[in-house]
Chain A
Amino acid sequence: MISKDLTVANKLGLHARAAAKVVALASNFASEISLQKGDRKINGKSIMGVMMLAASQHTIVNVVVIGEDEQQAMTEIENLFNNFFDEEE
């Protein structure tokens, strides 16, 4: 299991398009992936779940990955967060 706190850096936060990218990436891995903001923990492979977090810019989200490909999954998810979900700001 790998658990990491990641910061939502982009201006629009974890909005629909960013959420779709997280889910598309997470769905490539066999591992279970969850995201948590405060008390709300959701399945990282569910787009509506990720959107329900309503994680705005500067929000810290706890990501937990459990499974055989957890190392690669966490690396790639972290990269996506750090790259502003491929958005310009």
Chain B
Amino acid sequence: MTVSILTITHGNVGKELLATAKTMLGKLPLKCETLSVSNTCNPDELMLEAQRICKKIDDGDGVLVLTDIFGSTPSNICNKLKHDFDINVHVIAGLNLPMLIRALNYPQLKLNDIIDKAISGAHDGIIDCQVHN
């Protein structure tokens, strides 16, 4: 049993980040899916689609749902998702490539443990290149 990952983001942000991660790593060690949110979308329909995807990809260890920016429509869809008690999800906002790569580097971890890795990965990936040697 492993954690699965779903990105719910503006446009293709999540899709492109996941594609980049796959190119970097050669293959994805966890089941991953993406959901793109456009300006013209129906959030209620997308919520149902997100639920459907989570149920499909849940391997028994829950789904880590990653969204790009807190308070946006993609994020609001995620936050409604976590109130569905039929699925085990944990939502993190602030998706960046280091977050994704860090999470994928620990495919053996359970949901509660991979959350910390994803968040620290996101933070650690922010580097002021003017001072980093």
Contacts and interface: CB of A to CB of B under 8 A. Distances in A.
Interface residues of A, number: 12
Contact of A48 (B26, B105, B132): B105
A24 B107 CA distance: 12
Contacts of B102: 47-48
Contact of B105 (A16, A23, A54): A23
A9 interface: no
Contacts of A52: 127
A23 B25 CA distance: 10
Given A47-B105, A48-B98, A48-B105, A17 B124 contact: no
Given A48-B124, A48-B125, A17 B101 contact: no
Contacts of A48: 98, 101-102, 105, 121, 124-125
The interface size bin for chain B is: 10 to 19
B23 interface: yes
Nearest to A17: B24
A47 B101 CA distance: 8
Nearest to B124: A48
The SS class assigned to the B binding surface is: helix
A56 interface: no
Contacts of B127: 52
A38 B132 CA distance: 13
Interface in B87-105: 98, 101-102, 105
Interface of A: 16-17, 20-21, 23-24, 38, 46-48, 52, 54
17 contacts: A17-B23, A17-B24, A20-B26, A23-B105, A24-B25, A24-B26, A38-B133, A46-B105, A47-B25, A47-B101, A47-B102, A47-B105, A48-B101, A48-B102, A48-B105, A48-B121, A54-B132
